[in-house]
Amino acid sequence: MSTSTSELHSQPSVEASAPAAASAAGRHDLYAGIHKALRLFMSRTLCELGSTDPGNPDEVKTALGQLERLLGLCELHLTDENEFIHPALERARPGSAARIATEHVHHAEAIADLRDLAGLVADSSGAVRAAACGRLYRALALFVAENFQHMQVEETAHNALLWAHYSDAELAAIEQALVASIPPAAMAEALHWFLPALNAPERAAMLAGMQLGMPPEPFAAVLEIARRTLSVPAHAALMRSLGLPPVPGLVTV
């Protein structure tokens, strides 16, 4: 994926082409797609960490690696919202981003604490590691719970304000600027979670947009991520929606 991520970055991207954009209200939604991806990433990482055997070094390494990727994407998401969405909210109504901005500060502190606990897990063994794994799991569970509540506020109160003060074209322009700032590796990481998190129509529309705007080689890399992250039936449905032949060797159940 390393060869194609730079090309991915210069083409219609995950957030830009995701019709997460199309909310139930029929308006351009800056939050829906990335929040679906983050909810899936958070939930799976929490389950992975909870089921990790503290006495198995390979399992611990895998779980901590996934946790670090999650925390990195969370940090990037905080930065993106602070730099691109909060200014739009403040222009519409001064003070409207204050609550969530304060929560972002707390989330950044929680991310630092989670990294400290992960370091303790990595550097310990035996009973100490087992106890540290339990502490890390519970801390991540609280972080996930707080983020789920946090995202609900953004998707309701913040969207209502954005929709009242901006056209869909203006919201799309904000999104395009945000997307252009995302590093290629982070874009590729996000794509691994967008694809399985979106529902079938959202997924098909997102990849149809990519298919139109991307050269064949980087789009093939996107399709490979889809093959690895989707169930066989979901992948087959996606290929049909894109007018592409099924992948040989994959049997739809």
Whether residue 151 lies inside any domain: the answer is yes
Judgement on whether residues 123 and 35 belong to the same structural domain of the protein: yes
Judgement on whether residues 80 and 126 belong to the same structural domain of the protein: yes
Whether residue 230 lies inside any domain: the answer is yes
Give Cα separations from 20 to 54, 60, 107, 230 (angstroms). 38, 34, 24, 18
Q: Where are the beta strands (DSSP E) in the chain?
A: none
Judgement on whether residues 47 and 143 belong to the same structural domain of the protein: yes
**Residue with token string 């904000």:** 174
By three-state DSSP, how is residue 22 classified?
strand
Judgement on whether residues 204 and 85 belong to the same structural domain of the protein: no
Residue 90, token pair as written in the block: 């403040």
pLDDT tens per residue, the chain (253 residues)?
A: 333 444 454 444 444 444 444 454 689 999 999 999 999 999 999 999 999 999 999 999 999 999 999 999 999 999 999 999 999 999 999 999 999 999 999 999 999 999 999 999 999 999 999 999 999 999 999 999 999 999 999 999 999 999 999 999 999 999 989 988 988 888 888 999 999 999 999 999 989 988 988 888 889 989 999 999 999 999 999 999 999 998 766 544 3
Can you give 121-145 as a three-state secondary structure string?
Answer: HHHCCHHHHHHHHHHHHHHHHHHHH
What per-residue confidence (pLDDT) applies to 17?
42
What per-residue confidence (pLDDT) applies to 25?
60
Judgement on whether residues 212 and 238 belong to the same structural domain of the protein: yes
The tally of domains found in the chain comes to 2
Residue at 3: amino acid letter:
T
User: Is residue 102 packed enough to be buried (19+ CB in 10 Å), middle (13-18) or exposed (0-12)?
Assistant: exposed
What per-residue confidence (pLDDT) applies to 6?
43
- Sequence-distant (6+) residues with CB within 8 A of 249 are none
Rg (CA), the chain: 19
User: Is residue 4 packed enough to be buried (19+ CB in 10 Å), middle (13-18) or exposed (0-12)?
Assistant: buried
Whether residue 110 lies inside any domain: the answer is yes
Q: Give the DSSP per-residue string, 137-194.
A: HHHHHHHHHHHHHHHHHIIIIIHHHHHHH--HHHHHHHHHHHHHTS-HHHHHHHHHHH
Judgement on whether residues 14 and 31 belong to the same structural domain of the protein: no
Q: Which of 117, 111, 142 is nearest to 129 (CA)?
A: 117
Which CATH number covers residue 97? 1.20.120
What per-residue confidence (pLDDT) applies to 213?
81
The residue range of the domain holding 219 is 1-18+182-253
Residue 115, token pair as written in the block: 């990294």
What per-residue confidence (pLDDT) applies to 249?
60
By three-state DSSP, how is residue 245 classified?
coil
Judgement on whether residues 109 and 199 belong to the same structural domain of the protein: no
Whether residue 172 lies inside any domain: the answer is no
Judgement on whether residues 144 and 85 belong to the same structural domain of the protein: yes
Judgement on whether residues 5 and 60 belong to the same structural domain of the protein: no
| Domain edge (last residue) among 109, 136, 166 | 166
Judgement on whether residues 251 and 160 belong to the same structural domain of the protein: no
| Domain edge (last residue) among 166, 190, 205 | 166
Judgement on whether residues 112 and 142 belong to the same structural domain of the protein: yes
Whether residue 12 lies inside any domain: the answer is yes
Whether residue 86 lies inside any domain: the answer is yes
- Provide the phi-psi class of 126: left if phi over 0, else alpha when psi is between -120 and 50, else beta: left
What per-residue confidence (pLDDT) applies to 48?
98
Judgement on whether residues 241 and 202 belong to the same structural domain of the protein: yes
| Domain edge (last residue) among 114, 134, 166 | 166
Number of Cβ within a 10 Å radius of residue 91: 12
Whether residue 221 lies inside any domain: the answer is yes
Whether residue 33 lies inside any domain: the answer is yes
